[in-house]
Structure 1
C-alpha cells in the first residue's frame, strides 16, 4: 500500500551556530520502500547525514544561525507488511533470542522494567504466552490509562505513567515496553507516521520480538488504539524515546507546533483496525 506523508517544522533559533539533530525521514528497509522523498530547508543549510546500521534510523545534523528555521519533508512510501494469524506467533525463550534483541530486555532511561516486574507478573504472568499476551498488555493500557495531551513531559517515565494513569502515545508505549521486558519479551520504542491518527502528529508505538511461522521478527502494537498497525511508516526505533527524538537542538530554541500528515490514496479511510499480527522484517 502506498502512502504520501510528511511534516513541516518551525523553529526560532535564539543563538548563532546552534546545532540541531533531526530524525524525521522514513526508514529505508525491506517492507518499507521509499519511492520519492524531498527535504527543503529555509534558509538553505549544509547537512551531515548518518544512517545507523543496526536500527535503520536516519539522522541529519545542521548548524543554524539566529532567526527562523523551517524544515519541510515529503515522501511517498510503499508498505508491504506481513499480517498473519496472531495464534501462530509465539514468545521466544532468552536462550534462543538473537543477540541484538537482548539489549531490549534491559531497563532504560524511560523504561524501568526492573521496578515494574512484580506488577507485570501479577497482572500478565499467568496469561498464554505469545502475541496474545502482548495484546493483553496493550488492552490493559488502553483500559486503565487516560489519553490526555499535555499530561506528561520529557521527564515522564513508565513508572510515572503507571502511577498517574494518564499520558500520551509515548507514555503508553514506554509502559507497554516496560511490562514486556519485565516478562522476558524484548520490546522497543517506535516513532512513526501513523495512518488514521487523528489529529495527525508524530506517533509512538511499540514493537515486541516474537516468533511467527517464518521465524523471529519485530511485531507492531499500538496500545492507544489510535492508528492502524499495518499503516505505520517507521521513522526510528530505539530502547525508548531518548533514542528517537525527532528534533534535538543544542541551544536555546523556540518551537512551533509541528504539522504532520499521512494519506493513503488507495485505502479506505474508514473501517475496523486490523487484528492480525503485523510485522515488517527482523532488523
Structure 2
C-alpha cells in the first residue's frame, strides 16, 4: 500500500521559546519511508534535533526567537509494519489512568455498562461501537483540557475526545489501551486524526469510534497514554499562535471499505 501524507503549519512566535513538533511518520520495521521536513523562521532555515520515543515516535525540537515559523512535511509511505509485541512495561503503563483518560473515575460505570467478562477483541469492539453511538462528532464542541469524563457528560466532541473515552473505558475493564495520532486517508474533515489501540488476543488492535477513515490506511505518527503524549505541537516558553494548519493524506487507488468491526492492526 502506498500512502502520501503532508502537513504545513504557520506559527507566530511572539517571544523566544522552545517548540516540539510531532508531525513526522513514526519509524517502524518493514516500512519504506521517503520524506522531507523543513522548518524556517522568517525564511531562515531552522535545524531541529530529533528525539526518538517509544513505538517509533519522533519529536523534532528546537529553540527560536520571534517571527513567523513555518513547518513543511511530506512523506511517501510504502508497505506495512508488522505488529510489535508489547513490553511488560507497556502493558502496565497502558492500564493506568492518565491526564485525559481518567479510567479510575469510570470503573463503576464501565462495569455496569460492559460487564466484567474476559478482555478480548469482542469487548474492545463493543466499547468502541458504544462510544460511536453515544457521542456526536461536533467540531469546536470541546476544549483542549477536556478529558474522557467531560466527553461522556457532554455527549459531543472531536476525534481526540472519542479516543480518550474509548481508552478510558477500556482501561476501566482491564484492557490495555493507548492513543495514536495518525495521518488518515479519507478522513473528513481532513486533519491530524486520533484513534485508540487496544491490546487484545495477543495483538494491538486499532479502534476508531468516529468511523471517519478506514483503519487499514492509517499512518502512525505518535503513540502514548493520551493527547498530552501525542500532540502535534508543544511549546515551552513564549506565547505562540497557530495561524494556519493544512494536513493531507491519500492512498493509492480506491479507499478500502472498513466495517469497523473486523480486527485491524495499524501498519
Deviation of 1:275 after TM superposition, in Å, equals: 4.0
Does the CA contact (< 8 Å) of 1:193 and 1:203 recur in 2? Answer: yes
Pairing partner for 1:249 from 222, 226, 235:
235
Does the CA contact (< 8 Å) of 2:220 and 2:266 recur in 1? Answer: no
Pairing partner for 1:38 from 21, 36, 39:
36
Structure 1 residues not aligned, in runs of 5+: 84-95
For residues 22 and 112 of structure 2, what CA distance do their matches in structure 1 show? Answer: 37
Distance 1:20 1:112, change over 3 A: same
| Aligned counterpart, 2:7 | 7
Distance 1:105 1:274, change over 3 A: closer
For residues 200 and 170 of structure 2, what CA distance do their matches in structure 1 show? Answer: 11
1:141 equivalenced with 2:142 (yes/no): no
Distance 1:163 1:123, change over 3 A: same
| SS of equivalent residue, structure 2 residue 97 | coil
Does the CA contact (< 8 Å) of 1:23 and 1:58 recur in 2? Answer: yes
| Aligned counterpart, 1:277 | 263
Distance 1:122 1:268, change over 3 A: same
For residues 87 and 69 of structure 2, what CA distance do their matches in structure 1 show? Answer: 44
For residues 138 and 71 of structure 1, what CA distance do their matches in structure 2 show? Answer: 34
Pairing partner for 1:222 from 199, 208, 219:
208
Give TM-score scaled by structure 1 length: 0.86
| Aligned counterpart, 2:24 | 25
Does the CA contact (< 8 Å) of 1:34 and 1:75 recur in 2? Answer: no
Structure 2 residues not aligned, in runs of 5+: none
Deviation of 1:48 after TM superposition, in Å, equals: 1.4
For residues 69 and 58 of structure 1, what CA distance do their matches in structure 2 show? Answer: 19
| Aligned counterpart, 1:237 | 223
Does the CA contact (< 8 Å) of 2:9 and 2:245 recur in 1? Answer: yes
| SS of equivalent residue, structure 1 residue 184 | coil
Deviation of 1:115 after TM superposition, in Å, equals: 0.8
Does the CA contact (< 8 Å) of 1:81 and 1:230 recur in 2? Answer: no
| SS of equivalent residue, structure 1 residue 136 | helix
Give TM-score scaled by structure 2 length: 0.91
